A and B are shown apart, each in its own frame.
Chain A
Amino acid sequence: MAGALTWILAAMSWQNLLAGFLGVVLGVIFGALPGFTAAMGVAVLMPFTFGLSPTTGLMLLAGIFCGAIYGGSISAILIGTPGTPSAAATVIDGFEMARKGQAADALREAIVASYIGGTFSAICLAFIAPPLARFALKFGPPEYLLLAIFGLTIIASIAAKSLLKGIIAGVLGLILGAVGMDPLLAYPRWTFGIPSLVSGVGLVPALIGLFSIPQVLSMVGDPETRIKEYSGKVSGRRWPTFKELKEFSPIYLRSSLIGLFIGALPGAGGSIAAFLGYNEAKRFSKHPEKFGTGIREGVAAAEAANNAVTGGALITMLTLGVPGDSVTAIMMGALLVHGLRPGNELFTASAHVIYPFLVGLIIVNLMMLLVGIYAAPYAARVTKTPVSMLAPIIVALCVMGAYAVNNDIMDVWVMLFFGVVGYLLKCGGYITIPIVLGVILGPILESNLTRLLTITQGQNILMYVLSRPISVVLLLMIIASLAWPVIQLRSVTARRIAEVAD
């Protein structure tokens, strides 16, 4: 107990608090700017941490990490463009809320959900890191493959109105995701001799293009789709009510668990976590048909999941030395510079560094909550900006953001290509989310399929997959996920018939 108190006090030193706060503010700004990702923020500030104490340095980087994942939701809600790939799922309901004039409510929901997800994962990191990391290691090629397929089944529920169009968009996404080197022989496919495309279509420019350009074009072309001004009282409800929290607690919990676990899987990432969280919230909702029309549940589910990824990703990095994404890879470098080696020794021999940091992570999330809550009403004023000013600013931000990812002008063209494709599809009544899912999940699906095939050479693949318990569970989940919309439709129809009969 005395130990725990020392760690809490150590975490609360003014240097740590200042570093955490600065990190959060910078992170939120980085996250809110499309094209500037958490990884970039962490990479830029990493050299500065060499001169700080390890705990202070880690708190600075963790602040950026958490802040940026939350910050992505701000632009997702206000301008319909995810600030980071993690916030792609937030656009679905967040932006619709903004269009209905509920921007500040959406922003409040995003920060509350982000805080709950982040804190939940930080607490899990402190208490159940080793068993969770061991479980994450059990995921091999067949599990990743099935997880990717499970992710693709989201198309079935999102494109319920026109399944065919949803599938077409999804396949288009998979094809675009196949640009670049093949995962077996490194042969460049569909690169047209352009070196930038050899490593594939950049996710960030693709997302910026898909979301923002069609938005801007229709914003300018059609006055009906303009964002309504925020109509609620700005000063009235800054904090959520207890009733709201209680009502949404199943969503928070479910999404946090999904985010935590997806975060612990190397190579999966926050965008997948958010989509899965969103989809499960919809599945278990009493009114799934309202998802996508701009309801708070949609924002809550996506944001709790993507911020829960932070703790999950840190778990695999800190306990196994396996960074799950680029942010934790850079943070690992910061640990190493201070002579700290990831692994079990970190929690024993270096407990005086790591436990204050874990306490610090909880504090960082609290700071994020405060920054978000107090900044939300001001951020919501973006919706008061006239379209004639907002549209050009968004386009400028998008071009700058696409370029900033890799300092590569080719990414700007990729962004514009996706923008035009997105606009044409939108005109044809297609939705863009399936394309996003295809681009994100396609490479995971393909590389794990080739891995599975190389590992099981000469064996019966089906038997191999069925001999693995986690694979079987995932397989059942896929079947259930595909059957669910049909069952739901039947029950709805049955209810309607019953109502009519009454």
Chain B
Amino acid sequence: MRRGRIITLCVVIAIMIMLSMSVLGHAALQKPANYPKKPIHFIVTFSAGGGTDVGFRILCQYAEKIIGVPIVVVNKPGGGGEVGMVELVRSKPDGYTIGNFNSAHTTILALREAKYSLDDVEPICLAVSDPRLFIVRADDDRFKTIEDFLEYGRKHPGKLTVGTSGAGTTGHFQILAVNKFANTSLQPVHYGGAGESKAAFLGKHIDAITQTVGEILTTFEKGQARVLAVLADERIPEFPDAPTLKEKGIDLVMASNRGIAAPKGTPKEIINYLAEAFKEAMQDPKYIAEMQKLGLPIKYLGPEEFRKLNQKEYEVYSAIAKELK
């Protein structure tokens, strides 16, 4: 009888220890009840093989190890990202459909009527923040500094041509914003993507280009181009000599942001769980190394901070877009 009690007691204690251990072990990563039970679909709103696609495919590989179910990437390109975003916000908000949310989705809203709004989106986290730059050719003696560049634009309105990756892209907004904030007059010239604008720049058909660190770093020809300014809060390690616009008294921070979002109405605990899971995946040294090789700067922001960032971007872009019309 006594022995029986002791054994029962031991079992009870053992179970309690096991339970408390499992709870403690996952204190940081609390799984919502009954989630996830099946594969999660991840909508990439751009074509397979592009920067957004490659970055998130890699991240999903690491995240599915943590979440424990496969994350299936589905490309839904078109409409500059609108097609996929409409698909995402119209999906069932059960945590089984998530997708990327980029700066491009905010510029669409600022520029034109779209079939989704910022309120339809439930932000999960920011994953990549790629600062925007002003780049000139290395042998261009006209511009030693960003001040020379902006001054030239003031003196020759509409003559200083700056290539973008397309009308309505963040690069286009970057030029319009600088024109407004720095009272200069740079002439945007739109190309069909970062590659085409880079070719026009290297071929001396335009004076400068606006690209992100990721776009220029990977193909940065030694001695062919110079970064005049970075539109980030602080100088970046890739181009330590390039000043920020903030240092020059122009309060303008612009980056090509890529985050993850879910449709509105997705349960809060699922959002928080996914945010934590992706955060953990983003700390994997292998993930960090792969992204570094691709030139995609990692930056994590939680659900609320990411929401605020999108709101702030939307305000900045809307103000510029208004003047465009």
Contact = CB atoms under 8 A, between A and B. Distances in A.
Contacts of B113: 193
Contacts of B265: none
Interface in B78-100: 78-80, 82-83, 86
Contacts of B172: 186
Contacts of A195: 78-79, 82-83, 86, 114-115
A139 interface: yes
B12 to A, nearest CB: 48
Interface in B34-77: 47-50, 53-54, 57, 74-77
B47 A326 contact: yes
Given A267-B196, A320-B219, A322-B195, A186 B49 contact: no
A257 B220 CA distance: 29
A352 to B, nearest CB: 18
A61 B161 CA distance: 36
A148 to B, nearest CB: 13
Given A186-B168, A321-B221, A408 B49 contact: no
A47 interface: yes
Given A188-B112, A196-B79, A341 B195 contact: no
Nearest to B296: A336
B199 A320 contact: yes
Contacts of A342: 218-219
Interface in B272-318: 290, 293-295
A336 B75 CA distance: 22
B199 A186 contact: no
Interface stretch (B18-26, B184-192, B232-240, B246-254): B184-192
Interface stretch (B117-125, B141-149, B201-209, B255-263): B201-209
Nearest to A47: B57
A323 B82 contact: no
B150 to A, nearest CB: 19
A130 to B, nearest CB: 12
Interface residues on B, range: 35 or more
Given A43-B48, A181-B167, A185-B324, A339 B293 contact: yes
A50 B195 CA distance: 23
Contacts, number: 162
A187 B112 contact: yes
Contact of A336 (B115, B159, B295): B295
A137 B195 contact: no
B111 interface: yes
A139 B74 CA distance: 36
A341 B218 contact: yes
Contacts of B57: 47
Contact of B48 (A40, A184, A196): A40
Contacts of B47: 39, 43, 326, 406
B112 to A, nearest CB: 6
B178 interface: no
Nearest to A444: B192
B109 interface: no
A198 B195 contact: no
Nearest to B57: A47
Interface residues on A, range: 35 or more
Contact of A457 (B74, B77, B158, B293): B158
Interface in A315-342: 316, 320-324, 326, 329-330, 332-333, 336-339, 341-342
A341 B79 contact: no
Interface stretch (A68-76, A229-237, A431-439, A448-456): A448-456
A44 interface: yes
Contacts of A337: 290, 293-294
A292 B48 CA distance: 36
Interface in A290-336: 316, 320-324, 326, 329-330, 332-333, 336
A406 B77 contact: yes
Contacts of B83: 195-196, 198-199, 406, 408, 410
B242 interface: no
Interface string B220-236: 11100000000000000
A408 to B, nearest CB: 6
A50 B111 CA distance: 38
A408 B76 contact: yes
A406 B57 CA distance: 17
Given A195-B115, A322-B199, A454 B161 contact: yes
Interface in B147-179: 158-159, 161, 166-168, 172
B29 interface: no
A40 B75 CA distance: 11
Contacts of B115: 193, 195
Contacts of B204: 137
Counting chain A CB atoms within 10 Å of each CB, the highest count among B78, B220, B294 belongs to: B78
A43 B221 contact: no
Contacts of A139: 203
A410 B87 CA distance: 12
A280 interface: no
A495 interface: no
Contact of B80 (A140, A199, A266, A338): A199
17 contacts: A39-B47, A137-B203, A140-B203, A182-B167, A186-B111, A198-B82, A199-B80, A266-B196, A267-B195, A321-B198, A322-B196, A322-B199, A330-B49, A341-B218, A406-B77, A454-B188, A455-B187
Given A181-B167, A455-B206, 4 more contacts: A40-B48, A139-B203, A343-B219, A447-B192
5 tightest A-B CB contacts, nearest first: A321-B219, A186-B168, A330-B49, A43-B48, A137-B203
